[in-house]
Amino acid sequence: MRHFAPGWIALIFLRNALLVFVLTGAWHLALYIKQTQGKAFKYNSQWPSIGNSAFLFKHQTIDNMIWTFASGVPFWTAYEVVIWWCFANHYVPFVGWTEHPIYCTAILLLIPAFREVHFYVVHRFIHWPPLYRAVHKLHHNNVNPGPWSGLACIPSSICCISRARSSTSSCPHTRSTPCSNCSTRR
């Protein structure tokens, strides 16, 4: 991994895609297809949209799956590839459990706090005025998130900036919940 090469990068990408497909697919199968919990723990009592023109092929789950595999998994893979390359070239130290069990345990316990801070910072960033309109269109389309929504939203929103800048339609409510025009057009 000292040198970027298509072979090992492709293996990481395929592994990540398989993990997302199996794990997210299992959650989707259990919670949205078989509806094992019904609506008991849903934030929004509706099921993902079908026939809504805000989504590719008018289907929220297909839209989220496409964005997950077209942007979420590649962003995740790129980050992982760079980290492995840094480890291999000794740009960052590799810290293992056997050498540093207390440090690794502390880091493991801090993951929830890191996740919350990361979510807050990213969420504030996507509401920065230059990004807001592009992110607004994708992020707020998923008002009824399913298992495929999480990895689909943020990276793909950032990729949509150029499309949003060239769009002639804009939301008159740039700082509030989208109106019916916003939530049905992309």
Per-residue pLDDT at 50: 82
Instruction: Give CA torsion, residues 77, 79, 84, 85, to 10 deg.
Output: 110
Per-residue pLDDT at 137: 58
> Which of residues 159 and 131 earns the better pLDDT score?
131
| 3-state SS string for 13-68 | HHHHHHHHHHHHHHHHHHHHHCCCCCCCCCCCCCCCCECCCCCHHHEHHHHHHHHH
Per-residue pLDDT at 105: 96
- Residues in a beta bridge with 50: 59
Q: What is the pTM of this model?
A: 0.67
Query: Which tokens hold the place of 72?
Result: 């979420």
Closest of 179, 175, 173, 145 to residue 68, by C-alpha: 145
